[in-house]
C-alpha cells in the first residue's frame, strides 16, 4: 500500500525494525501507561502482522498505529489474537478473506478526529486492494470497572449483538456477561455514546456487531468485546465516504463531507 496523505497526516505500512519499535513504544504508552522510552508493548503476533503508522506530515511524529493480520478465511481463525480470548468456532465457516485489526491506539496527547479518519482511510484502501470480506478484532474500554460503562454495554446488548451464526462464545476465565445482566436495562443514549470507545463507535456506525460478553483483560487494564464487520453489510453511502477518504488526493484539506465518515 502506498502512503495515504490527507491534511496534516499520512498513513503508511511500517517498513523497518525501527518503524516497528516506534509502534511498540506508542502502544506501551497507550496500553501500559508507560512513559519509559525503552519500554515496548510487543507479542508474538507482531511477526505475522502488517503494522500501519499514522504520522504528522510536517514533523514525522507517530500519532497512531495499528496492526492487521490477514487470514484467507474463517478456517484460519485460530491464528488470530482474538482466539486467545473468545471461542470463535462459529466464524470458521466464514469463507471470504478476513483481517483482524489489533493494537489500535492514538497518542494520548492527540485529540484531532482527522487521525481516526486517516487511519480508517488506510484500512479502507487495504480492504479494497485485498478483497477483504470481514474485519474483526477486540474493541477496548479503558479500565476493568464495568460499572463505568453500563449504559454503553446496555446499548450493545439491545442493538448490536452478533448474528447467531457468527456469535463468539466464552473462553476467557474472567468475563462480564453484559447481554445477560443488562437485558432489562434501558440505556441512556447520551451516556452510552459518551462512554463508547471511538473505534467501536465507528464499527457500529458501519453495521458492526459485538460479542454478548466482555473479556476482563487485567494485563492491559481493559474490558474488550469481540467486534465484527462484514464489508458487504456496510451501507453504500458509508462506503462512498470511506473511499473518498482512502482515495489519493492532492488537496491538503479534508473534504467537508469526510467529517461524516467517522463519529468523534
> Tens digits of per-residue pLDDT, 46-64?
999 999 999 999 999 999 9
pTM: 0.91
Whether the pLDDT of residue 198 is over 80: the answer is yes
| Domain residue extents for the chain | 4-244
Beta partners for residue 65, in sequence order: 53, 105
| Secondary element (H or E) of residue 128 | helix 113-130
User: Would you give the distance in Å from CA 120 to the centre of its chain?
Assistant: 9
User: Would you give the distance in Å from CA 108 to the centre of its chain?
Assistant: 16
Q: What pLDDT was estimated at residue 253? A: 35
Residue with cell 465516504: 241
Select 4-244's CATH number: 1.10.3720.10, 2.60.40.420, 3.40.630.30, 3.55.40.20: 3.40.630.30
User: Would you give the distance in Å from CA 88 to the centre of its chain?
Assistant: 18
Instruction: Look at strands 98-106 and 50-56 and give their pairing.
Output: unpaired
| Secondary element (H or E) of residue 51 | strand 50-56
> Tens digits of per-residue pLDDT, 244-259?
999 876 443 333 333 3
CA dist 128 → 132, 133, 134 (Å): 7, 9, 11
Q: What pLDDT was estimated at residue 2? A: 65
Whether the pLDDT of residue 260 is over 90: the answer is no
Contact between 53 and 106 (Cβ < 8 Å): no
Amino acid at each position: 500500500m502506498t502512503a495515504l496523505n490527507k491534511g496534516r497526516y499520512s498513513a503508511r505500512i511500517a517498513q523497518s525494525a525501527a518503524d516497528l519499535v516506534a509502534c511498540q513504544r506508542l502502544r506501551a504508552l497507550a496500553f501500559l501507561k508507560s512513559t519509559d522510552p525503552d519500554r515496548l508493548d510487543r507479542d508474538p503476533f507482531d511477526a505475522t502482522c502488517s503494522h500501519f503508522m499514522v504520522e504528522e506530515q510536517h514533523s514525522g511524529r507517530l500519532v497512531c498505529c495499528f496492526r492487521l493480520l490477514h487470514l484467507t478465511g474463517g478456517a484460519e481463525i485460530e491464528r488470530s489474537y482474538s482466539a486467545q480470548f473468545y471461542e470463535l468456532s462459529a466464524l470458521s465457516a466464514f469463507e471470504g478473506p478476513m483481517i483482524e485489526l489489533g493494537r489500535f491506539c492514538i497518542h494520548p496527547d492527540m485529540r484531532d478526529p482527522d487521525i481516526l479518519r486517516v487511519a480508517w482511510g488506510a484500512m479502507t484502501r487495504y480492504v479494497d486492494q485485498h478483497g477483504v470480506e470481514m474485519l474483526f478484532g477486540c474493541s477496548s474500554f479503558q479500565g476493568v470497572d464495568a460499572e463505568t460503562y453500563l449504559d454503553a454495554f446496555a446499548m450493545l446488548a439491545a442493538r448490536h449483538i452478533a448474528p447467531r451464526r457468527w456469535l463468539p462464545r466464552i473462553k476467557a476465565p474472567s468475563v462480564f456477561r453484559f447481554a445477560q445482566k443488562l437485558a432489562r436495562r434501558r440505556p441512556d443514549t447520551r451516556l452510552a455514546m459518551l462512554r463508547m470507545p471511538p473505534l467501536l463507535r465507528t464499527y457500529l456506525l458501519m453495521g458492526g456487531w459485538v460479542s454478548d460478553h466482555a473479556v476482563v483483560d487485567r494485563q492491559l487494564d481493559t474490558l474488550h468485546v469481540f467486534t465484527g464487520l462484514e464489508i458487504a453489510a456496510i451501507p453504500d453511502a458509508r462506503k462512498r465516504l470511506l473511499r473518498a477518504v482512502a482515495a489519493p488526493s492532492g488537496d491538503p484539506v479534508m473534504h467537508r463531507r469526510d467529517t461524516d465518515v467517522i463519529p468523534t
